Amino acid sequence: MTFTPHGKHLIAGAWIASEATFSSEPAHGPAYDFSLGTPELVAQACEAAEEAFWSYGYSTRAERAAFLNAIADEIEARAEAITEIGSQESGLPEARLKGERGRTTGQLRMFADHIQKGDYLDRRHDAALPDRAPAPRPELFTMQRPIGPVAVFGASNFPLAFSTAGGDTAAALAAGCPVVVKGHGAHPGTGEIIAEAIHAAVEKTGMPKGVFSLVQGGDRSVGQALVQHPLIKAVGFTGSLGGGRALFDLCAQRPEPIPFFGELGSVNPMFLLPEAVSARGEALGQGWAGSLAMGAGQFCTNPGIAVMLEGAEGEALVEAARAALSETGAQVMLTDGIAKAYASGAEKVAREPGVQELLSSVCDVREAKPFLFRISADDWLGNHALTEEVFGPLGLVVVAKDVDQMVEVARSFAGQLTATIHMGDGDAPLGRRLMPVLERKAGRVLVNGFPTGVEVCDTMVHGGPYPASTNFGATSVGTLSIRRFLRPVCYQNLPAALLPEDLAEIAQ
Ligand code: NAP
């Protein structure tokens, strides 16, 4: 089933074309024209979202669960066409797109189950104490309520699971918040077919039309207008530190500042402890290479930096990684811009003082080949430029003189999505020294694994201190991510006639 995009925006149930267009830039297959987004279209979508909130924000959990499940069904009904256009636009292999589609529908269904259980409402009750002296206590309830219309910026590297109907959209819709998506210019056709699926689910389940809109991008003014629109109450974003920070600043400067939940850059350091290096250095080197090169390194959890102690065993691990990476062929990147940023990022690393090039590559347009570099911890500790993410299959080995210096390197990192320890039983004392440092730096700490591959579940935290994210209290993956789009409301002394239905359940 081939999908030919019509190139329109979906604004509150209507497909709307604007005069100016931009062309998609697929990795392969035909390019199509898409209507260029405008601030006026953003305003229409936001106003419709606000209107929809008056009913959607007060819908029952069962109604929203039915809507989320219907979106998943509609995505599945378009499975082949989604894979085809997604792969053409992003250059990602079809198998990856299929897996990502499963993750996307799985997230929607997970949120449908999650809200039905009701725990996320965090309902609390303090019974009235009319006889308390010196003052009586009124009856108090508290419960999480949806915040209003939410803006979502689709991610370039996950055209399905972090985009139009991705984790941010699923969490916001589950919470009861209408969503306005700013489509990512790297995959406008994929955005359109997913919007079509959401539109069909809106019709099927009788949801208000303004509950979802997609405004295609093509112009920076679209995203800027969206985060500044007074009816938007929060933003979900995955992308670069520069872009995220610019939009975060706009949110903070609004007359009514709003939270900007940006999931930004991370180098995801790995600490290779001596017993693990000695026992399985070769396998670790090969495993690292596999994780680093997977999907052309275009994962926010890509482990870009490995920290180890100096010595022959560590060198053997590095050689195993180098050999495995040198066998990795060229891979297509998501966009020309991302490929250019990768090539210039690699050049910049190579020029830094003390950096030794172990594997270098020449990349063609929109292609990535792996790079591997090495630096002493002495040089690393004095150079903050090296802590910046290079998005792609680039690895840097930091060699410490001793365990104290390894801990010092750990302390030198800014906020991270993940931090990894590879260890044997005998490494536990050093592991225990690293833990308090890594726990302070990262949203997820893992042992003897690789951080690529983010489980979607109740316990996942995909976030972390800045610059990994702009809000360390939040995650953009897993059921906890719904909290971003909720706020607690306290209900004092309400008669049963006014108490929200979800609280009436616990009032008896
Ligand atoms: P991006 O350039 O930050 O763009 C993400 C979204 O934000 C796009 O819709 C973009 O619109 C919009 N945007 C960016 N800057 C803006 C601004 N100043 N004003 C208004 N809108 C703005 O990220 P990307 O295109 O996904 O990828 C580029 C880089 O992001 C990569 O090289 C990588 O470093 C990083 N990245 C990181 C992660 C992660 O999870 N950590 C994931 C993906 C990408 P336009 O497209 O119209 O500019």
Q: Which of 495, 500, 475 is nearest to 162 (CA)?
A: 475
Instruction: Please give the distance, rounded to the nearest whole angstrom, from the Cα atom of residue 239 to the centre of ligand 1.
Output: 4
Is 275 among the domain residues? yes
CA-155 nearest atom, ligand 1: 26
Which residue out of 177, 251, 300, 363 is catalytically annotated? 300
pTM score of the predicted model = 0.96
Q: Where residue 360 falls among pLDDT bands split at 50, 70, 90? A: confident
Q: Which residue has the tokens 């295609």?
A: 216
Is 174 among the domain residues? yes
Mean pLDDT across 4-27: 96
Q: With a 6 A CB cut-off, is 415 part of the ligand 1 pocket?
A: no
pLDDT at 508 over 80: no
Domain co-membership, 167 together with 278: no
* Residue closest by Cα to atom 9 of ligand 1: 184
Q: Which residue has the tokens 């309902």?
A: 123
Mean pLDDT across 5-25: 96
Q: With a 6 A CB cut-off, is 217 part of the ligand 1 pocket?
A: yes
Is 12 among the domain residues? no
Q: With a 6 A CB cut-off, is 221 part of the ligand 1 pocket?
A: no
Q: What is the pLDDT of residues 111-164, one digit of tens each?
A: 999 999 999 999 999 999 999 999 999 999 999 999 999 999 999 999 999 999
Q: What is the pLDDT of residues 277-287, one digit of tens each?
A: 999 999 999 99
Is 242 among the domain residues? yes
Instruction: Please give the distance, rounded to the nearest whole angstrom, from the Cα atom of residue 98 to the centre of ligand 1.
Output: 24
* Residue closest by Cα to atom 38 of ligand 1: 239
CA-392 nearest atom, ligand 1: 32
In angstroms, the CA 112 to CA 171 distance is 10
CATH number for position 406: 3.40.309.10
Instruction: Please give the distance, rounded to the nearest whole angstrom, from the Cα atom of residue 241 to the centre of ligand 1.
Output: 8
Domain co-membership, 322 together with 381: yes
Mean pLDDT across 493-503: 95
Neighbours of 186 (CB within 10 A): 26
Share of the chain above pLDDT 90, in %: 95
Q: With a 6 A CB cut-off, is 185 part of the ligand 1 pocket?
A: yes
pLDDT at 1 over 80: no
Q: With a 6 A CB cut-off, is 224 part of the ligand 1 pocket?
A: yes
Q: Does the active-site annotation cover 263? A: yes
Is 473 among the domain residues? yes
Domain co-membership, 251 together with 278: no
* Residue span of the structural domain in which 74 resides: 34-264+469-504
Domain co-membership, 274 together with 236: no
Instruction: Please give the distance, rounded to the nearest whole angstrom, from the Cα atom of residue 246 to the centre of ligand 1.
Output: 10
Domain co-membership, 159 together with 278: no
CATH number for position 241: 3.40.605.10
Which residue out of 50, 100, 192, 263 is catalytically annotated? 263
Instruction: Please give the distance, rounded to the nearest whole angstrom, from the Cα atom of residue 285 to the centre of ligand 1.
Output: 31
Mean pLDDT across 218-240: 96
Is 463 among the domain residues? no
Domain co-membership, 204 together with 295: no
Is 254 among the domain residues? yes
pLDDT of amino acid 218: 79
Q: Where residue 472 falls among pLDDT bands split at 50, 70, 90? A: very high
**What is the number of domains present in the chain?**
2
Q: With a 6 A CB cut-off, is 153 part of the ligand 1 pocket?
A: yes
In angstroms, the CA 186 to CA 366 distance is 12
Q: With a 6 A CB cut-off, is 264 part of the ligand 1 pocket?
A: yes
pLDDT of amino acid 228: 98
Is 314 among the domain residues? yes
Q: Which residue has the tokens 């680039």?
A: 394
Domain co-membership, 172 together with 61: yes
CA-243 nearest atom, ligand 1: 15
In angstroms, the CA 56 to CA 53 distance is 5
Residues 180, 231 contacting (CB under 8 angstroms): no
One-letter identity of residue 117: K
Question: Average pLDDT over the chain, rounded to whole?
Answer: 96
Mean pLDDT across 27-44: 97
Domain co-membership, 274 together with 407: yes
Domain co-membership, 112 together with 130: yes
Domain co-membership, 483 together with 339: no
Q: What DSSP assignment string belongs to 307-348?
A: EEESSHHHHHHHHHHHHHHHT---EE-S-HHHHHHHHHHHHH
Q: With a 6 A CB cut-off, is 238 part of the ligand 1 pocket?
A: yes
In angstroms, the CA 181 to CA 390 distance is 27
Which residue from 157, 181, 238, 240 has its CB within 8 A of the most atoms of ligand 1, so it is best to mutate?
240
Mean pLDDT across 443-455: 96
Q: With a 6 A CB cut-off, is 184 part of the ligand 1 pocket?
A: yes
* Residue closest by Cα to atom 16 of ligand 1: 243
Residues 419, 306 contacting (CB under 8 angstroms): no
Mean pLDDT across 297-317: 96
Domain co-membership, 106 together with 91: yes
Q: Where residue 365 falls among pLDDT bands split at 50, 70, 90? A: confident
Instruction: Please give the distance, rounded to the nearest whole angstrom, from the Cα atom of residue 166 to the centre of ligand 1.
Output: 16
Domain co-membership, 352 together with 481: no
Q: With a 6 A CB cut-off, is 391 part of the ligand 1 pocket?
A: yes
Q: Where residue 396 falls among pLDDT bands split at 50, 70, 90? A: very high
pLDDT of amino acid 313: 96
| Structure tokens that stand for 74 in this block | 């509609």
